[in-house]
Structure 1
């Protein structure tokens, strides 16, 4: 798993100039068989500024298209063929990039989303990503049967729901799908280790920075900083490097030792509450959602903790990622019996260009995976982070025991 000697030599040979971009800009040419005319649009979601950025577009005539321009830093983009509602991701950089494909090879996933397999040459980042994908092949082969079982279980659930199956029947089918998914978890962990090993051993690689940007919110602050600090200055100055730095800065604000970010919101009962209302007490903030199965599964344990420690000076605040579906939020709180503590929505709003995060509590605490719990002391200082980018729930239990000494 940790032997990359031959791979490192290959990357050093093929991608030694990976972080150097030509001043001439990019030229992207495409030949997509099976489409006479149309339009292709290339864009990406800028996670630093939280906005969708359109890079370029071109007319497709007899399957051919061409785009020319210049970008400040390499990025992973998504190319959408508007007339076909079909697209593909690739790495865009200032070089001569050639794209070839055939519409007959387009596939649809279980949700009806169409994707197009493509052959791309001229992008060093794309080539490096394909080398890394080959490293994942043995692990993906192990998950093939499990992945198929998961897809089939989901399909049975959707079909049963269409036919008006009972709640009990749907629950059984849902449990089957969840069981299939849980069996794949060890292999996801294996691929994460593979990615982190790659990051650690390729400090001059923009692709390694891309990998880190994708998992930065699920690893500890200490580990994220260690990886980032090993990158060369050129990589740190890239879009991927800046994105990592942005996420690390946010994570610092939601990690032990930092002052907890203040927030004010209207709770589930219509009452305005602020974090400062609970100064002088310990506060456990639970970031969750009605649609998050691990969150819901952990609620019985949280109820036990609340009943054990609330009388000793602990307040719980549930912050739900259900802004788009308040009814589901209310229903989940009632069904799980967690209305005994405070509940508010995270405050994420949609805007014409993406999302309005000006009042987003989750953003202030760098929450990117659920469930995540933040423990705050009576002085308003974070003393524990559990879940995304932090420790596990067992560590949280030990922290409570240490604070109250089992009293």
Structure 2
């Protein structure tokens, strides 16, 4: 009887929620109960928001207020160990929250769950099908690196080969997104995807063209205005512009400013301990640093690790032999410097000259070495 009561409660018609801008996410995953928990992570007013729900015979529920749709991460903690202790194999599903009642169900895990009552998630499901080939290819590149012997992983030729493959796949994904946005100018997903596509090295002319093709309502929305801001930031961090100054703490909690390095050539390097492509580049980056550190060159690393994973950040610095200055606010993808430089994916870097001017972007491997060789002749 209790189970029937719970299901009846969760199935209540919440038409009023849609009118008041409230979402209700109801889930039924298996038959687990405490200590199992479910976490819902999403951005709200520039901050990462985490909601927690208990699980009763597989049932859980979340409710909140939205001003516009949000992409979210749903995490099922089957053992109740805490989200910060869950690793890469965690049971996770990416979905969209929107006003109204969303129903999620699965026999065993959230990653295999189906969602009903949400037009946006149906749209997202169709878009994901378009990305399957390239995402599968990217996973194969990652596996190629992980399965390679350690000596091969440190090979510059091998690393550059993988980087070339990833860049080609990323370019293919950009084309898919731009074409999708062009064909679906009234879909919120189009605006969301363009926002995710925005990066420091984006072609602002192409992006502005895609953005201007969206409906008036989307362009005037809160997210639309944020994208306009990102396009402006991309222009501000273009080659030839002055690198925005910032302050962030190093591994010992000591504040470090970018301006502290004025007078030197600085490679501002965005990475994280969990980023496989970033870690793959470190052996060559160490060689580059050791070759030019006595010639008025240094590196300033900015990590997108989070507070619960500081130990992983410190371990990666030590095991990869990164002897240059490292900073982070441990806010994961909400890192304030990453937002200042419009970083949506890593690895990415900026080469800054002694006056503080940006003279290069996303220079990796031999490309970086050639640039530095031309400077330090």
When normalised by structure 1's length, the TM-score is 0.61
**Aligned mates of 1:305, 1:230 — CA distance in 2:** 46
Give 2:265's aligned residue.
Answer: 283
**Aligned mates of 1:34, 1:266 — CA distance in 2:** 45
Give 2:69's aligned residue.
Answer: 74
1:375 aligns with 2:375: no
Given that 2:218 and 2:224 are in contact with CA atoms closer than 8 Å, whether structure 1 keeps it comes out as yes
Q: Give matches, 1:127-142, under 5 Å.
A: 127-139=122-134
Given that 2:200 and 2:341 are in contact with CA atoms closer than 8 Å, whether structure 1 keeps it comes out as no
What per-residue deviation string (whole Å, max 9, x for no partner) do you get for residues 38-90 of structure 1?
A: 77645323286242343x74x55444455555422111222334455644232
Secondary structure in 2 matching 1:196 = helix
Given that 2:302 and 2:327 are in contact with CA atoms closer than 8 Å, whether structure 1 keeps it comes out as yes
Give 1:346's aligned residue.
Answer: 327
Q: Give matches, 1:185-334, under 5 Å.
A: 185=166, 186-217=168-199, 219-220=201-202, 222=204, 223-238=206-221, 240-241=223-224, 243-245=226-228, 247-263=230-246, 276=259, 283-287=265-269, 292-298=279-285, 300=287, 310=295, 315-321=296-302, 324=310, 325-326=313-314, 329=317, 332=320
1:23 aligns with 2:19: yes
**Aligned mates of 1:235, 1:98 — CA distance in 2:** 26
Secondary structure in 1 matching 2:130 = helix
Give 1:387's aligned residue.
Answer: 362
TM-aligned CA deviation for residue 119 of structure 1: 1.3
**43, 53, 57: which is aligned to 1:46?**
43
**Aligned mates of 2:341, 2:367 — CA distance in 1:** 21
Secondary structure in 2 matching 1:294 = helix
1:101 aligns with 2:106: yes
What per-residue deviation string (whole Å, max 9, x for no partner) do you get for residues 218-264 of structure 1?
A: 64261444433443343245464355345445444433354333356
**Aligned mates of 1:70, 1:363 — CA distance in 2:** 24
Structure showing greater radius of gyration is 1
Task: Tell me the C-alpha RMSD between the 2 structures.
Answer: 4.9
**Aligned mates of 1:287, 1:152 — CA distance in 2:** 24
When normalised by structure 2's length, the TM-score is 0.65
**341, 344, 363: which is aligned to 1:365?**
341
**Aligned mates of 1:177, 1:48 — CA distance in 2:** 42
**Aligned mates of 1:393, 1:264 — CA distance in 2:** 30
Secondary structure in 1 matching 2:298 = strand
Give 2:119's aligned residue.
Answer: 124
